[in-house]
Amino acid sequence: MSNEIYHFKVGTFQCIVVSDGIHTYAPPTFPPPATFLFGNVPSNQLEQTLRKHNIQPDLWTEWISPYNCLLINTGEHRVLVDTGALGLASSTGRLIQNLQAEGIAPEDIDIVIITHCHPDHISGITLDDGELAFPNARFVMWKGEWDFWTSGEAEEKLDEHFREALLGFVRKNLPSIQDRLDLIEHEREILPGIQAISAPGHTPGHMALLISSEGEQLLNIVDAVLHPIHLEQPEWCATVDFAPDQVLATRRHLLHRAAAENSLVLAFHFPFPGLGHIVQKGENWEWQPIKV
C-alpha cells in the first residue's frame, strides 16, 4: 500500500485519503511529545498509560505525525477537506503533487472545506508566490473560526508560545479567500451528503464532517483527537487545545456517535491512512484501524 494515497468508497462517493506528508513534533520548537499531547495529566498516571501502549516515556523524544487530507468525488463536485502544510517543513506540502499523481489537477477542485485554521490545515491555501493553490474553488469554514482568527481575538487569547507562528500562517492564507468564502453558523449540509458538525475545543470553530451516501457514512473527526490514547483518556488535552472543557464535550459527543453508528472514522493525525472504527471500551473508547 502507498503511504500517500488510499482509495475507498462511501456509498457512491469516491474518496481518497491524500497525504500531505509528515511532521516531527519535538523540542525546541514544541514541548516533548508527552507534554505536547497530554499536557494536563499527572506524570505518574501518564507514564503508566504510555508504558501500557509500549511507549517508553524517557525515550519518547519526538512525535512523527501524518497529515491525512481527504478528497471526496461526489460525482458532481470534487471536495477537498483541508489543504495541508505547504511551507511548514520540508517533509510537508505534498498534497498537490499527490493529487496530480492521481490525475487530479488543482483546478479540478471546486469546494475546499477548512475544518480549522491551524497551519497544518490552511498552509496549502496559497502557493509560495501567494497565488491560490486551488483557483477554481469556493471555500467553506465555520463562522466562529473565521471570526476568531480575523477579528483580533486570536491575538488576545492565544498562548504566547504559539501565537505569532500561528498568526503568520493565518495572515498569509486567509485574506486570499475572503471573496470566495461561505461561512457556516449551524450544523447543516454543505453539499448533499456532506454535513458540517460543530466540534469546538481544539479551536473555537473547529468543524467535523459527516459524509453519507447510500446508507454508508464516514465521520471525519479531524483534530478532535490527536492520538489514539485520547480515545481511552478523552479528558487528556494537548497544549494546542484551545478550550479543554469543550474538547472533552466534543470528544464524548463524536466518539459516542461514531461507536453507536459504527461509522468509518478518519482522524487527521493518526497513522496513515487514518481510517478505522471506534468501539466502546467501558466508559470510554478504543481505536481499531482498518486493515490495509
Straight-line distance from the first to the last Cα atom of the chain, in angstroms, rounded to the nearest whole number = 7
| The three grid cell numbers given for residue 120, joined into one nine-digit string | 497544518
| The three grid cell numbers given for residue 201, joined into one nine-digit string | 475545543
Q: Which sequence spans correspond to the domains of the chain? A: 5-289
CATH class as words, domain 5-289: alpha beta
Nearest-angstrom CA–CA distance, 151 and 12: 40
| The three grid cell numbers given for residue 76, joined into one nine-digit string | 458532481
Main-chain dihedrals φ then ψ at residue 57, nearest 5 degrees: -55, -40
Based on the number of CB atoms within 10 Å of its own CB, is 11 exposed (0-12), middle (13-18) or buried (19 or more)?
middle
DSSP for 132-171, written as a single string = BSSTT-EEEEEHHHHHHHHSSHHHHHS-HHHHHHHHHHHH
Contact in structure between 109 and 149 (CB atoms under 8 Å): no
The pLDDT tens digits along the chain (292 residues) read: 578 999 999 999 999 999 999 999 999 999 999 999 999 999 899 999 999 999 999 999 999 999 999 999 999 999 999 999 999 999 999 999 999 999 999 999 999 999 999 999 999 999 999 999 999 999 999 999 999 999 999 999 998 878 988 999 999 999 999 999 999 999 999 999 999 999 999 999 999 999 999 999 999 999 999 999 999 999 999 999 999 999 999 999 999 999 999 999 999 999 999 999 999 999 999 999 999 8
Nearest-angstrom CA–CA distance, 265 and 188: 19
What local confidence, expressed as pLDDT, does residue 1 receive?
52
What local confidence, expressed as pLDDT, does residue 3 receive?
84
Residue 119, beta-bridge partner list? none
